[in-house]
Amino acid sequence: MTTTIKAAICREFGKPLIIENIRIAPPGPGEVMVDIKACAICHSDISYAEGAWGGDLPAVYGHEAAGVVSQVGTGVTDFKNGDHVVVTLIRSCGGCHYCMQGSRVMCEEVFPLDQKSPLSDATGEAYVQAMRTGAFAEKVVVHESQLVAIPGDMPFAEASLLACGVITGFGAVVNTARVKPGHHVAVVGCGGVGLNSIQGAAIAGAGTIVAIDLSDSKLEAARRFGATHTVNPAKSDAAAEIKAFTAGRGVDFVFVTVGAKPAFDRAFDYITKNGSVVVVGMPPTGVLAEYDPGTLAAWNQKILGSKMGEATIATDIPQLVEHYRAGRLKLDELITGRYPLGEINQAIAAVNDGKALRNVIVF
């Protein structure tokens, strides 16, 4: 039996989200319904809603969420009603080529939820469950592989950040780059993802952590999250500054957490021999970066892609919860504002204006 819920609907790219009543189908085999308690606003949601990567409409966005299990489908054994969970977009089968390699973020299985959205209007017209979640809504139906149980005393708003921003930024450092004590790193972009790359580098024991951003206020935040040095490239030569911090060599890893072409092009100026550029941020479709392949080969440099921090959520998220509870991982400080669903457009505008690290929709 379908349930009627309130959700923020995007009907035209670049247009405001509209709050409407829509229908959500009950969970099928292996699926779980979650009552959403908090959903953070990620730049990916904004980019999709603006049409940067195409897609189909109408759609319900939102993919960085936490809530309470309210209904389970047949065959679900790991979750029960009342469980507190983080809801992610990472949907995995555990048995395909990529899952067997340990790369759950690249699972190639096509799930029933991929073939038919659980969301529709009163006439039966389907709404896209964007990014496999659709969490700008009171409830979601997702595959059980997308969930991770969290302690009952974990705040929902803080827990929601673990679904994307934290695992993406932190995971790029610890899973993709595997930063070790003494490595020198730079992080380009000090928004929600970049600050978590900085936190990951600090917890991993990096020797030098250079934060790079055009916003001085975000650079101040980067210091609080573990950066040892900050650079505003609009005010000084970032490459020269980084070399000065690293005995003239450059950093071992630079994490590009924004989607701007200049950030990717300049990143190669920051790394040393054997250094790596780690691509975390996603530019709009068609944006291409440039590099010197001769230098890349001669200096044994590398380009590493990092999707969702290459996270294995069943193990990575509980570890992050422990870091948070032990005071090593800052989550409270990432939240700039909390908004009801009806004010989602104001929350998004504040993010676009650079006034927020992470804004969260609370239910």
| Percent of the residues in the chain that have a pLDDT greater than 90, as a whole number | 89
Superfamily of domain 166-306: NAD(P)-binding Rossmann-like Domain (3.40.50.720)
Phi and psi at residue 69, to the nearest 5° = -65, 130
CATH number of this structure's domain 3-163+331-362: 3.90.180.10
Confidence of residue 285 (pLDDT cuts 50, 70, 90): confident
Domain boundaries, the chain: 3-163+331-362, 166-306
Q: Mean of the pLDDT values across residues 201-220? A: 95
How confident is the model at residue 248, as a pLDDT?
Answer: 95
Closest alpha carbon to 66 in 169, 142, 3? 142
Q: Is residue 94 classed exposed, middle or buried when 0-12, 13-18 and 19+ CB atoms within 10 A define those classes?
A: exposed
Q: Is the pLDDT of residue 308 over 90?
A: yes
Do strands 208-212 and 229-231 pair parallel, antiparallel, or not at all (unpaired)?
A: parallel
Q: Is the pLDDT of residue 355 over 80?
A: no
